[in-house]
Amino acid sequence: MDLARLKKVSECVWQIPKSGEMRVPALIFADSILLSEMDEKVYTQLTNVACLPGIVKAAMAMPDAHWGYGFPIGGVAAFDPDQGGVISVGGVGYDISCGVRCHRLHIKRQQLLPKLDELMNELFRSIPAGVGSTGKIKLTVAKLDDVLRHGAIWAVDKGYGTRTDLEFIEEHGRVRDADPSKVSITAKERQKKQMGTLGSGNHYLEVQFVEEIFDKKAANTFGIEEDDVVISIHCGSRALGHQIGTDYLQILGAAAKKYNIPIRERELVCAPIRSQEGMDYFKAVGCGINCALANRQVLGHLTTQIVQRVIPEATCKLIYDVSHNTCKLEKHQVNDKMRKLYVHRKGATRAFGPGHKELPKAYREAGQPLFIGGTMGTSSFMLVGTEKGEELAWSSACHGAGRSMSRRAALKRWKGKGVIKALKKQGIILKAASLRGAAEEAPEAYKDVERVVEATHRSGLARKVARLKPLAVIKG
Amino acid sequence: MGMDRMGPQKMEKLTPGWQTFDHVADIGIRGMGQSIEEAFENGACALFSLVVDDLSKISPVRKKKIACASFDLTGLFVAWINNLIAISDMEQMVFGRFSVAVKETSLSGIAIGEKWSFEKHGRGIEVKGATFTEATVRKENGLWIAQCVVDV
């Protein structure tokens, strides 16, 4: 991206001034190196988002932003329904509520290592991963509707995990604005056999250890110390979310025409929040979120059972479960007044600061934990939400490293077996359902997550808590 | 019907066949043909080349009918690909041969394939959905091209 077109607000905050049909300016949170490497499409897509009706304050991009569908990945925007605000498919994406949950095992790396092979074999055998995989849970459409209404609460009621887990999931495990009648039969039929599956692409289950603590107080709150073992699970709403995205791209496309909303990119289709189509989509997104929360809860429980079987001295307590691709109704301060806004986070993490009443009591003083996925060979990070993040970006932060190389280019450069071998040399076990998937996900195909996290920290969006290093990975 | 066109198209100059193309986070699929129909059929081959290791190993055992419509040809191609993704998911099938008839912005087609066997067909990557990014259906130098980026 050409820095000359941007106005520098501070070291890690840059502005695209309001011009033309933009209703608000755009803000990009990144350092100059991340910005110079960011594709031009982020600029175009952000300015397009800034033109949408009812947008409040600014269209925003997180430090890991890259070219997306309508919104950039890493795009954040809030809309006020009282000001004609809209809801957009591009602001949520195809994998609704894709997110990360992290469990702490209360054991040190040295205690785990003798049992790591056995643990990974058991996890790989029991966690369905990869394209075409199906879970043990088979649902009818009617039973799936219960999942869509109740999210992780459904999973706990069915014996997957405990009530305590729910406190450590966004929305306490369930969004209330979910109406299964707004989700197509095709979406439900696709999902019936996919509950409790990891998926493929960049989804993973990773056993990690805490390599370095940056914020001892927050780390203590989240129950981790250096050398502790944690397990992170990254996946989403599976086929259901994908089909909701596909279906509503058509529905909101027609709605945008009906309500005379100019659309600058086909995936930026939207409808007024206060329209039938807009509300239908919001309630369908709620179903997608609940589906993802239930899916991760099932996977978390399967993981817990295996951990406790293989390593009886370990526990597997959920630290927190965060979602990335969402549109949520939240209260935020706008010009000294509290307003209810529809906050879109596409490839961005909600990051509530200290004191937020949505947070579990145990974390209320510290703020919300966030988990930023790196690559199979580098680091991931634990961060914590800040008060400044609320002022800057509706309490939002980055979500991952972001690719720097296309999948085709990665396939040309690496072979799956070579990637597994190279990781093994670093002491990292990779279990991959697809060798092609392993090659496409080679660590070198991603951007430097450290720089993304550093920019997030320095801009004040969220604060670094700990660096996590991979020991073993399951890839779909 | 795309019976004999199962093979990647690698030449710079486009000829009937299929290929994939670069996108920063995801991947593009492209079908080329002498007619719109042939381009759509070959685009479907490009889709399933991502899902399985070798398209030629998919036997023509079962047929599934697909009908869809959109407001223009590009929308129709995206809808065709999305219908194939959904049917593959619901039926646990993979397809290697296709036959479509396009009338204005409506399509009726057949996908031919079999139950997915990881042992026989291998496993590639999961395609979440077809997108409108770099989506186009156009005629170039006498050849129809149908393409879009798919979210993986």
Mean pLDDT of A421-425: 96
| B4 is a domain residue | no
* pLDDT tens string A13-51: 999 999 999 999 999 999 999 999 998 999 999 999 999
Q: Does residue B9 lie within any of the structural domains?
A: no
As a whole number of angstroms, the longest Cα–Cα distance in chain B is 41
**Structural domains of chain B, count:** 1
* Whole-number Å distance between alpha carbons of B152 and A476: 12
Domain residue limits, chain A:
3-88+97-404+446-475
Model confidence at A422: pLDDT above 80: yes
Decide if B86 and A243 are in contact by the 8 Å CB cutoff.
yes
Q: Is B89 on the interface with A (CB under 8 A)?
A: yes
Which residues of chain B, if any, have pLDDT below 50? 1-6, 10-11
CATH classification of the domain holding B130? 3.55.10.10
Token pair for residue A20?
Answer: 């033309």
Percent of chain A past pLDDT 70, that is, above it, reads 100
The pTM for the full model equals 0.94
Encode B1-22: b = buried (16+ Cβ within 10 Å), e = exposed: ebeebbeebeeeeeebbbbbee
Tell me which residues of A are annotated as active site: 399
Structure tokens at A329: 């109704």
Closest CA relative to residue A226, chosen from A243, A239, A211: A211
C-alpha distances out from residue B17 to A464, B42, B46, B78, Å: 50, 6, 9, 18
Q: Which residue from A minimizes the CA distance to B27? A: A407
Contact A72, A302 (CB under 8 A): no
Question: Which pLDDT belongs to residue B11?
Answer: 47
Q: Are A195 and A137 in contact (CB under 8 A)?
A: yes
Q: Quickly tell me which residue has 């969402």 as its tokens.
A: A326
- Of A380, A365, A379, A389, residue with least CA distance to A462: A389
State the amino acid at position A425 in one-letter form: K
pLDDT tens digits, A126-150? 998 887 778 888 899 999 999 999 9
Residue B129 lies in a domain: yes
Select the residue from B125, B133, B134 to test the A interface by mutation, using most A Cβ atoms within 10 A: B125
The answer to whether A65 and A73 have CB atoms below 8 angstroms apart is yes
Q: How far apart are CA A129 and CA A126, in angstroms?
A: 9
Please state the CATH superfamily assignment of the domain spanning residues A3-88+97-404+446-475 in this structure. Answer: tRNA-splicing ligase RtcB (3.90.1860.10)
Amino acid symbol at A153: I
Q: Which residue has the tokens 């990009």?
A: A28
Q: With residue B47 as reference, give the H or E element that holds it.
A: helix B36-51
CA neighbor of B136 nearest in space, from B59, B93, B76:
B76
Candidates A267, A409, A437; nearest CB to B22: A409
Across the range A170-199, mean pLDDT stands at: 94
ipTM, two decimals, is 0.85
Where are the extended beta strands (E) located within A34-161?
59-66, 73-79, 86-88, 99-108
Q: Does residue B34 fall inside a structural domain?
A: yes
Q: Helices A116-126 and A276-310 meet at what angle, rounded to 10?
A: 140
Residue B41 domain boundaries? 17-151
Q: What is the pLDDT of residue B4?
A: 35
| B129 vs A201, A242, A408: nearest CB | A242
Nearest-CA distance from A241 to chain B in Å?
9
Does B69 lie at the interface with A, CB-CB under 8 angstroms? no
